[in-house]
């Protein structure tokens, strides 16, 4: 801070000079004491000068509303919203989000540091303060083919950028616990830079959890039970309570909130699609869920502001207090958390649901054309099974976990799978799309409910190869071929016809459409998936399918290399004994 700016701030705070802006007639949410304060909020040079009786060059009348600190999402993958960073700012800021901790793990797995540079440059074009965690797992594991490899040496290329806040979620927790050289090098890089290191440790407990935390892992968003939450808090970790399009852990974890552990809890979305944000909001949805559970509203707002700021060492924000950034949300009340006005660094940037600033887009040329598939044909989907007893990937309701099971299937004379419309079991395939390796692996998916056609995506966590499932090899092949032509995204087909398509030219992960248009397109995906193809409405058709290739989420997944048992971290045969 320059000397003249500091002097001006002190002069305004002391009441010797007029503020640039004063917010009047607001109940001020004090997240430090859990109380409400009454008084004017004085702002100078984008900072809060004080709360009291002030005059300013400009005035905002809060009309009896509640002034709260700007919301901070503790962990999100922008790519999973399927919009660009600039568009992310346009849709989230009107919902009260002023800071976003983003992990560009998805685009990095497609395009490495080229993808990172695109995200950093694009984030400069929005008033939303997007801070990035440098992805730690590119690829997520050694058991699949991603578009890039980021070692600690590659990470040094961008690690000192001011937008890089820390090291992203360490999904390869066995590598950390087992002291794998590459993982230890990345942790040491984070420690060298004094950075936060994000965690990802489902089902890890006991001494393994001790080892994970001892390595320097700071927080976790993968808690599915209260016991997991308590185990991690007692070891000094922050818990990011997740509620997105498919993962709804917040509803379980909120039952474990106490006044003793409340200051270690943060809100996050992780993966939340654009149409979900348009329909249900961003972090206000979390706040309303907490309200319905009887959690004190100021405590809930603390999860969304001060706790997140302290967790990620953003000591210049998170509360309404002298010297902090004037990131302020004016709410109509503390019941519905309806956002009326949003200020970022003392500037009115959104009002009554509208983003008030122009949107300029970053050039997407460096991350276009990301589908490079070799030797794909219908024959590559055929199986030559000798046994009709196979391992299956069974969906588990309420999240992205899966269960390993066994099923008996019908085979033709060549040992290929015969789909039975009376049985909820279909073929699933993952096709490598980054380096023309020609890798294709097939498995069986149970519980998805699809009864007609096929659906294919280039959104397939975390390496983002092509994932496709359907009732016939013909439909699956057609879906993949059309998906490649449209530069990735989502496609739904039936009987050789495209039912609906959503192109995503930004790395095969993000659309270049305005959010409202994209939201309408994604809503139509649901309409076709549920109404025409018969996909089980218990599951989001895109988010659920795209996690079936993530080999760090228990219990069984499919990569481009084969069927992977996450509990043993090993490949298993498709045929069961």
Task: Judge whether 528 lies within some domain.
Answer: yes
Q: Are residues 323 and 388 in the same domain?
A: no
Order of strands across the sheet that contains 66-69: 35-38, 27-30, 66-69, 328-331, 339-344, 347-351, 354-355
- Give me 539's structure tokens: 């599951």
Q: Is 387 exposed, middle or buried (0-12, 13-18, 19+ CB in 10 A)?
A: middle
Task: Judge whether 21 lies within some domain.
Answer: no
Q: Are residues 527 and 388 in the same domain?
A: yes
| Host domain of residue 560 | 368-571
Residues 188-238: pLDDT tens digits?
999 999 999 999 998 899 999 999 999 999 999 999 999 999 999 999 999
Give the span between the Cα atoms of 60 and 358, in whole angstroms. Answer: 22
- Give me 398's structure tokens: 């309420």
Give the span between the Cα atoms of 50 and 16, in whole angstroms. Answer: 12
- Give me 576's structure tokens: 């069961």
Torsion of CA 242, 198, 509, 73, to 10 degrees: 50
Q: Are residues 293 and 428 in the same domain?
A: no
Give the residue from 543, 383, 515 showing the smallest Cα distance to 455: 543
Beta strands in 88-142 (DSSP E): 97-102, 129-134
Which residues, including other chains, have CB under 8 Å from residue 298's CB and lie 6 or more apart? 29, 30, 31, 34, 35, 36, 334
Specify the pLDDT at position 399.
Answer: 67
Domain limit, last residue, from 366, 396, 423: 366
Parts of the chain with a pLDDT under 70: 399
Which residues, including other chains, have CB under 8 Å from residue 324's CB and lie 6 or more apart? 47, 48, 316, 317, 318
Domains held by the chain: number: 2
Q: Are residues 331 and 234 in the same domain?
A: yes
Q: Are residues 206 and 296 in the same domain?
A: yes
Cross-strand bridge partners of residue 470: 427, 454
Q: Are residues 494 and 351 in the same domain?
A: no
Task: Judge whether 204 lies within some domain.
Answer: yes
- Give me 374's structure tokens: 């070799």
Q: Is 497 exposed, middle or buried (0-12, 13-18, 19+ CB in 10 A)?
A: exposed
Domain limit, last residue, from 366, 389, 422: 366
Q: Are residues 415 and 499 in the same domain?
A: yes
DSSP state of 388: S
Q: Are residues 236 and 378 in the same domain?
A: no
Task: Judge whether 33 lies within some domain.
Answer: no
H or E segment to which residue 92 belongs? helix 85-92
Q: Scan for tokens 């006044």, then name that residue.
A: 259
Give the residue from 530, 544, 543 showing the smallest Cα distance to 394: 544
Q: Are residues 184 and 321 in the same domain?
A: yes
Give the residue from 259, 212, 255, 257 showing the smallest Cα distance to 237: 212
Residues 235-271: pLDDT tens digits?
999 999 999 987 899 999 999 999 999 999 999 999 8
Give the span between the Cα atoms of 54 and 46, in whole angstroms. Answer: 16
Task: Judge whether 441 lies within some domain.
Answer: yes
Task: Judge whether 38 lies within some domain.
Answer: no
Task: Judge whether 320 lies within some domain.
Answer: yes
> What CA–CA distances, in Å, run from 164 to 161, 196, 397, 551?
6, 10, 35, 26
Task: Judge whether 404 lies within some domain.
Answer: yes
- Give me 208's structure tokens: 């393994």
- Give me 26's structure tokens: 């607001």
Q: Are residues 356 and 378 in the same domain?
A: no
Please answer whether residues 116 and 104 qualify as being in contact, where contact means their C-beta atoms are separated by less than 8 angstroms: yes
Q: Are residues 353 and 330 in the same domain?
A: yes
Could you tell me the pTM of the whole model? 0.90
Q: Are residues 347 and 410 in the same domain?
A: no
Residues 152-194: pLDDT tens digits?
999 999 999 999 999 999 988 989 999 999 999 999 999 999 9
User: What's 183's domain CATH number?
Assistant: 3.20.20.140
- Give me 550's structure tokens: 């993530």
DSSP state of 75: E
> What CA–CA distances, in Å, run from 40 to 45, 50, 51, 66, 351?
16, 8, 5, 12, 19
Beta strands in 332-463 (DSSP E): 339-344, 347-351, 354-355, 389-395, 402-408, 410-411, 417-418, 425-431, 440-446, 454-457
Phi and psi at residue 539, in whole multiples of 5°? -115, 145
Domain limit, last residue, from 366, 398, 421: 366
């Amino acid at each position: 801070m320059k000397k003249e700016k500091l002097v001006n701030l002190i002069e305004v705070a002391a009441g010797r000079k007029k503020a640039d802006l004063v917010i009047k007639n607001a109940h001020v949410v004090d997240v430090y004491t859990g109380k409400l304060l009454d008084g004017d909020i004085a702002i100078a040079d984008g900072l809060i000068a004080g709360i009291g009786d002030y005059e300013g060059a400009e005035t905002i009348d809060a009309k009896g509303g509640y002034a709260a600190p700007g919301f901070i999402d503790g962990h999100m993958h922008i790519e999973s919203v399927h919009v660009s960073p600039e568009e992310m700012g346009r849709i989230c800021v009107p919902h009260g989000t002023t800071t976003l901790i983003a992990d560009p793990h998805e685009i990095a797995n497609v395009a490495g540091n080229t993808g990172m540079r695109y995200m950093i440059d694009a984030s400069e074009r929005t008033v939303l303060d997007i801070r990035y965690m440098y992805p730690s797992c590119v690829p997520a594991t050694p058991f699949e083919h991603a578009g890039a490899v980021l070692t600690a040496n590659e990470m040094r290329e961008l690690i000192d950028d001011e937008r890089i806040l820390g090291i992203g979620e360490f999904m390869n927790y066995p590598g950390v616990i087992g002291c794998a050289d590459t993982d230890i090098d990345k942790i040491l890089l984070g420690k060298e830079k004094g950075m936060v290191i994000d965690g990802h440790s489902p089902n890890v407990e006991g001494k393994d959890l001790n080892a994970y935390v001892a390595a320097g892992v700071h927080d976790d968003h993968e808690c599915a039970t209260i016991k997991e939450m308590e185990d991690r808090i007692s070891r000094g970790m922050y818990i990011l309570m997740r509620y997105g399009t498919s993962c709804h852990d917040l509803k379980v974890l909120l039952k474990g909130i106490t006044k003793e552990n409340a200051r270690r809890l943060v809100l996050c979305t992780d993966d939340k699609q654009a149409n979900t944000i348009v329909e249900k909001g961003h972090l206000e949805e979390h706040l309303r869920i907490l309200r319905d559970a009887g959690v004190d509203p100021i405590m809930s707002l603390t999860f969304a502001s001060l706790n997140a700021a302290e967790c990620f060492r953003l000591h210049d924000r998170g509360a309404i207090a002298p010297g902090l950034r004037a990131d302020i949300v004016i709410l109509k009340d503390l019941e519905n958390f309806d956002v009326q006005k949003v200020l970022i660094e003392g500037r009115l940037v959104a009002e009554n649901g509208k983003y008030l600033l122009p949107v300029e887009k970053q050039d997407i040329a460096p991350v276009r054309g990301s589908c490079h598939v070799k030797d794909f044909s219908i024959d590559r989907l055929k199986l030559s099974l000798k046994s009709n007893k196979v391992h299956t990937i069974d969906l588990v309701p309420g999240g992205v976990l899966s269960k390993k099971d066994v099923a008996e299937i019908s085979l033709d004379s060549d040992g290929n799978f015969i789909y039975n419309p009376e049985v909820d079991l279909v073929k699933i395939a993952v096709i490598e799309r980054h380096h023309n390796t020609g890798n294709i692996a097939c498995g069986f998916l149970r519980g998805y409910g699809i009864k007609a056609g096929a659906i294919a995506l280039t959104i397939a966590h975390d390496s983002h190869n092509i994932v496709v499932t359907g009732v016939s090899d013909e439909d699956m092949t057609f879906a993949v071929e059309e998906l490649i032509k449209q530069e990735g995204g989502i496609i739904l087909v039936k009987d050789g016809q495209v039912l609906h398509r959503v192109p995503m030219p930004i790395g095969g992960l993000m659309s270049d459409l305005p959010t409202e248009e994209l939201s309408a397109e994604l809503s139509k995906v649901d309409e076709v998936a549920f109404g025409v193809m018969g996909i089980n409405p218990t599951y989001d058709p895109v988010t659920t399918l795209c996690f079936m290739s993530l080999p760090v989420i228990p219990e069984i997944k499919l990569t481009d290399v084969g069927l992977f048992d996450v509990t043993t971290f090993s490949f298993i045969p498709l045929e069961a004994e």
